[in-house]
Structure 1
Amino acid sequence: MRPTRARSLRTTARTALATLSVLGLGTGLLAAAAPADASATGYAALGDSYSSGVGSGSYISSSGDCEQSTLAYPYLWQAANHPSSFDFAACSGATTSDVLSSQLSGLNSSIGLVSISIGGNDAGFASTMETCVLDGTSACLSAVSTAESFTNTQLAGKLDSVYAAIHADAPNAHVVVLGYPHLYQVPGDCLFGISDTSRNAINGAADDLDGVIANEAAKAGFAFADVRSAFNGHEICSDDSWLHSTTLPIDESYHPTSTGQADGYLPAFTADAG
């Protein structure tokens, strides 16, 4: 991750909200109490490569290593709905820490809609997939177990900090948190590659990840858009995959294709965008 966005300076409100969350008061009540503002009509797209559009091509040259695509669901949504402003801050490789440090400067009271996918990189998605592809089933299962342990013990607090910061900086926004699909159809049509045991384990890790994300989004009063059903039948090893398997350029591996963005992520986001 090489962030291109300026660091947000509004840390006082974020710290207060995060403290309330830690004390058990949660952010859901705060979000629910925020007054509606009809003038809040801007849209901000935050998150990682699944939101920037890695794998879909048509990258915006000025986005550099963030690899933002005009075929990513945020760009497609804004082109169809014409929000009063569009802040495309999602960036390839982003973690929760990167969102806090580099993606929030465009948020303000005029933002009425925020989308975000985040958490996969915190859990070590890329390194886990590298291990599974290169080092065999036993190493894969160990790597997946490590990722699941992080997801189930440490990710919730990191998500809570991000969600509190979004609410602090965009108090009038409706926030849609998007999850991650299963990567593999099991059994499927793939004759080569990793074992079905590894594929099932990777899908199980996605379920753990989505479960934690959905739970923390609900606590924050945010909508959760589950894309797993949209990608059902379109995973890697299916006859109509909307996801790249191992491919070149390598960073597009295990990411949605342009069809996955348009027919998977976009409808899921639109259904919750209001």
Structure 2
Amino acid sequence: MPLPRTAGSALLALALASVAVPASASSTAAAAADVRYVALGDSYASGTGAGSYSDIACTRSRNAYPALWADANDPAAFSFAACGGAKIPDVLADQVDELDEDTTLVSLSIGGNDSGFASTMLSCQYSTQSACERALRTAGEYVVNELPGELDSLYATVRARAPHAEVVIVGYPHLYKEGGLCLGGLSSAKRTAVNQGSDLLNETIAGRAAAAGFAFADGRPAFAGHEICTSDAWISGSNVHPTAEGHESAYLPAFSAAVSGN
């Protein structure tokens, strides 16, 4: 006995739905299974200051954006090689070996330590305005004259080691709110000078990333309104690094947006 037309239509719709759902789920699972992610870089990538460390020596944090991205996306493979204090030679010596022809996604944050970030911040925190500006000028000369070539060499190595990977270079945030008072912090003039140094560093990194064909995730807009001296800072005033909230609410969205398909 033939089914009524309405019943037959309902069964047909149900059958089509039962076919469509597994196909979609299967394609999504296949895409996730293809991602092999390697996270390289310095303390801003490893998560120094974000707590919950899986590796104390390198201050690799489970709250850092690479680990958070991996948790959220469940890639087929994830290698967290970033290490606090790393400079470009350290990445070349200790981290790029994690890359290979099967790597499909790479994140990299580097250049701050090479430009003398730590010593510059000490000069600005504990010395005069003129000493702070001198330290920033010295760092700026390195960023303009030497860093571009060193980044080009590093980026070429990354591409050679991971020829099929999407590479996202992650920049640095402005550290301080500019203008107004900052109780217990730097003067307004010092804060402006430090942020200008960050601009120069980011512009150099972004330029070399573009020349290499890599994406650039800018940390400055990601942290805007949450710098040191704001009421809701996502950067620690004590260690001048992003907090766990900074990684989750600023770096993670910036990195995720830079990854194609997101």
Identify whether the pair has TM-score above 0.5, normalized to the shorter chain. Answer: yes
- State the Cα distance separating 1:39 from its structure 2 match: 8.1
Return the alpha-carbon distance in structure 1 between the equivalents of residues 75 and 183 of structure 2. Answer: 45
Q: Which residue of 2 aligns with 1:143?
A: 135
Higher RCO, 1 vs 2 (CA within 8 Å, ≥6 residues apart) = 1
- 2:52 matched to 1:66? no
Would the aligned equivalents of 1:181 and 1:231 in 2 still touch at CA under 8 Å?
yes
Would the aligned equivalents of 1:40 and 1:172 in 2 still touch at CA under 8 Å?
no
Would the aligned equivalents of 2:33 and 2:76 in 1 still touch at CA under 8 Å?
no
Greater share of residues in helix? 2
The alpha-carbon distance between structure 1 residues 154 and 201, as it changes in their structure 2 partners (threshold 3 A), is same
- 2:38 matched to 1:52? no
Amino acid across the alignment from 2:247 = Q
Match of 1:261 among 227, 247, 251: 247
Return the alpha-carbon distance in structure 2 between the equivalents of residues 192 and 45 of structure 1. Answer: 35
After TM superposition, list the pairs within 5 Å mapping 1:126-137 onto structure 2: 126-137=118-129
Would the aligned equivalents of 1:54 and 1:255 in 2 still touch at CA under 8 Å?
yes
- 2:14 matched to 1:42? no
Q: Which residue of 1 aligns with 2:26?
A: none
Amino acid across the alignment from 2:215 = A
Q: Which residue of 2 aligns with 1:178?
A: 170
Match of 2:198 among 175, 191, 206: 206
Return the alpha-carbon distance in structure 2 between the equivalents of residues 55 and 260 of structure 1. Answer: 10
Amino acid across the alignment from 1:129 = M
**CA offsets, 1:158-209, max 9 Å, x none?**
1111100110111110000000000010114512332211111100000000
SS at match of 1:104: helix
Q: Which residue of 2 aligns with 1:161?
A: 153
| Structure 2: gaps spanning 5 or more residues | 1-31
- State the Cα distance separating 1:226 from its structure 2 match: 0.6
Q: Which residue of 2 aligns with 1:16?
A: none
The alpha-carbon distance between structure 1 residues 230 and 39, as it changes in their structure 2 partners (threshold 3 A), is closer
Higher-Rg structure is 2
Return the alpha-carbon distance in structure 1 between the equivalents of residues 180 and 214 of structure 2. Answer: 35
Q: Which residue of 2 aligns with 1:91?
A: 83
Would the aligned equivalents of 2:111 and 2:147 in 1 still touch at CA under 8 Å?
yes
TM-score for both structures, normalised by structure 2: 0.85
Return the alpha-carbon distance in structure 2 between the equivalents of residues 126 and 171 of structure 1. Answer: 33
Return the alpha-carbon distance in structure 2 between the equivalents of residues 131 and 269 of structure 1. Answer: 31
- 2:106 matched to 1:114? yes
Amino acid across the alignment from 2:255 = F
Would the aligned equivalents of 1:189 and 1:239 in 2 still touch at CA under 8 Å?
no
Would the aligned equivalents of 1:189 and 1:238 in 2 still touch at CA under 8 Å?
no
| Structure 1: gaps spanning 5 or more residues | 1-37, 247-252
Return the alpha-carbon distance in structure 2 between the equivalents of residues 111 and 39 of structure 1. Answer: 12
Range with greater deviation from structure 2 (217-226 or 131-140): 131-140
Q: Which residue of 1 aligns with 2:229?
A: 237
- State the Cα distance separating 1:55 from its structure 2 match: 0.9
**CA offsets, 1:68-87, max 9 Å, x none?**
00000000000111111111
Q: Which residue of 2 aligns with 1:21?
A: none
After TM superposition, which residue ranges in structure 1, 4 or more long, deviate above 4 angstroms?
Answer: none
- State the Cα distance separating 1:131 from its structure 2 match: 1.1
Q: Which residue of 2 aligns with 1:271?
A: 257
- State the Cα distance separating 1:227 from its structure 2 match: 1.5
